[in-house]
Structure 1
């Protein structure tokens, strides 16, 4: 097997404030290979978002080992795209200009970036919406624009922090399907944080289960469900077995 894009060994993170310490991540060991869709699931406050911040280079870690980029190396500022729970689109910029924002910040060639942005908008189902303002888009459409923005600078890794948590149930189901399609078409590596066990199983090529905080890796395992995945897979015994496995790892009967 090729060298993993991300290798974590006994990763640890401690927050310090004056004379107090808070252990946020106690022991996380995980390999993420290029092209993986890793769903990261665990209880609220267990340290999932902290782990994403470490991977994005926004915070350091205090123990263990972290290697990113495999043999080619890794620059978090250039090689990571981020998608948050809220789309966070700038209300004074068009959809196209919002997608172009990371390219502008990185100083990438404008013409080539615009062509890529239009291609990405088509890929996420927003062809024809480039000149719209964010308020003219539904919540799901805004989040699609945020995904396109995360891909504009051609990152090696896309980190998503509960990206569909603010959407209604039906829109969330549709976005799950769109997310799998975008992953397959973009050939990128994704790590998606979610509180939903069903969503974690449906989205992930691998599922990483974190225990209640401080975060500890209970288990990471492949999810071998038929591709392309459709919503009806959730009614199958195989899907139910994976869901039960996650519940068991979280101590929920």
Structure 2
């Protein structure tokens, strides 16, 4: 049995709970979890805010850990590697989306890291608020040993959410990028855009976040409730990253 933290109902708090992890399949990687970030989605699922939560639910999809074992067909990971697991752990692997490496758009439905149904044995998936996890190697990523694993965990959700569009649309040195919102995603967006060489402007409603935005590397800060600032900024950006929705 594996120690975990689970919510038993939409009104209960997370509490210790024992779960069972599957035996290794040929393409599986067994991971001892060392860190797991807290995403607001975890709270929504624990409290059944969106409906459909299957209890008991073990949240957590920003997982960092060490490989403890690999299946017979696994070639890219070895015992001792530092790895990560994000918000999904399987898909049909056969549809047009999966064949393009876009499993998040799986036409038959991707399997989330928790509160999903395993495609093979129909068991319910449990997330990273636990000691260990077993995941197909296709949904495991290598994490650089140079990174602090505690700080790397949010890269598995908030990180990829903001990095992906910036990379997809080719943000580079000299581009002017506006990041809308200065929450968890906004922090990531600023850092990534700056690392890509862009001139970065944060849009925020709060004067109190100006110093924080500058601390994270923003070149400029626009208070979005100030009509004059907004009018002056119109049509001056190459790319806008909207983190508010």
Judge same fold: TM > 0.5, yes or no: no
Q: Which has the higher helix share?
A: 1
TM-score interval, normalised by the smaller of the two chains? under 0.3
- Larger RCO of the pair (alpha carbons < 8 Å, separation 6+): 1
Larger Cα Rg: Structure 1 or Structure 2? 2
Q: What TM-score do the two structures reach when normalised by structure 2?
A: 0.26
